[in-house]
Amino acid sequence: MIFSKDIMLNQWILLMVVVLQHGAIGTMVKFNNGAFEDIVIAINPGLSEDDKIINNIKDMVKEASSYLFIATEQRFYFKTVKVVIPLTWAAKPEYARVTTESYTNADIIVADPFIKYGDEPYTLQYGGCGEQGRYIHFTSNFLTNDSLLDVYGSRGRVLVHEWAHLRWGVFDEYNNDAPFYTTGVNKAEATRCSADITGQYIFRTSTGKTRKCKIDHRTQLYEVGCQFIPNKKQTVPASIMYMQSLPSVTLFWCISHNKAVAH
């Protein structure tokens, strides 16, 4: 894969919030020739000051840009990002003044956990498949605590997964409500994408021991409580919307196969 130099270059504009303006409503992201420009990432004014948040946002977007570029077969990348920093944080000479960007129209917000999700990153989607979402939510713990990398994979990969929710309105390719499907008599498989992802079917007993799952003969599916644990070692490249944390995964399934990316 060949990257031209300017594709890998992100421009940073750090902004201090002066007032919460009610100018623009909704995203101000521009799309030019494969580049997403002027993505607004806003830090909630209630969060305590931490430069690590700003630095890790930069690293995350940089990594996400190259990952997105590969995942979309060199069609999309992130070019310019504006970080809106709370006015209560120390001012720095490199910060510019906010014009119309604000917390309320940000594409990505950094804020306290929303109870239901804890530190799990999520995208507020209320439209149907294919409709843009409202914003991506990251917690400060997600951005600064490296022990969460084991759970979600690198932050850049997570951002690409969430960006696909936000921008293209694609849904997750895992299904917590129907984790298994039957493939024949006494045979079941985990719902996953792609189906070539290998793994183990593990049941955790109340004493904390693990054993292989059994098939429930009534439903022809794995027993309730059975979990599909993908092997860390895989060769399949899809899909980011199923599990971006698997090292081999670098492609979207539906996007790469249907060439159906809208922008």
Ligand X SMILES: *[C@@H]1O[C@H](CO)[C@@H](O)[C@H](O)[C@H]1NC(C)=O
Residues annotated as part of the active site: 162
DSSP structure class, residue 111: -
- Distance in angstroms (rounded) separating the CA atoms of residues 116 and 125: 15
Q: In this complex, which beta carbon is closest to ligand X, that of residue 141 or of residue 186?
A: 141
Report, in Å, the least distance between residue 228 CB and ligand X: 23
Q: In this complex, which beta carbon is closest to ligand X, that of residue 60 or of residue 241?
A: 60
Please name which of 218, 43, 258, 228 lies closest in space to residue 135, comparing C-alpha atoms: 43
Give the 3-state secondary structure of residue 36: strand
- Distance in angstroms (rounded) separating the CA atoms of residues 181 and 186: 11
Report, in Å, the least distance between residue 147 CB and ligand X: 5
| Residue in this structure with the two tokens 């006494």, named with its chain if needed | 186
Q: Are 174 and 195 within 8 A, CB to CB?
A: no
Q: Are 137 and 114 within 8 A, CB to CB?
A: yes
Q: In this complex, which beta carbon is closest to ligand X, that of residue 100 or of residue 141?
A: 141
Q: Which amino acid is at 68?
A: L
- Distance in angstroms (rounded) separating the CA atoms of residues 33 and 241: 24
Q: How many residues bind ligand X (CB under 6 A)?
A: 4
Under rule CB under 6 A, residue 248 binds ligand X:
no
- Distance in angstroms (rounded) separating the CA atoms of residues 140 and 123: 16
By DSSP bridging, strand 80-85 and strand 11-16 are: parallel
Under rule CB under 6 A, residue 147 binds ligand X:
yes
Q: In this complex, which beta carbon is closest to ligand X, that of residue 141 or of residue 231?
A: 141
Q: In this complex, which beta carbon is closest to ligand X, that of residue 43 or of residue 148?
A: 148
Query: One symbol per residue from 106 to 145: x for binding ligand X (CB under 6 A), - otherwise; what is it?
Result: -----------------------------------x---x
Residue whose beta carbon is closest to ligand X? 145
Report, in Å, the least distance between residue 140 CB and ligand X: 9
Under rule CB under 6 A, residue 55 binds ligand X:
no
Neighbours of 186 (CB within 10 A): 11
Residues that bind ligand X (CB under 6 A): 141, 145, 147-148
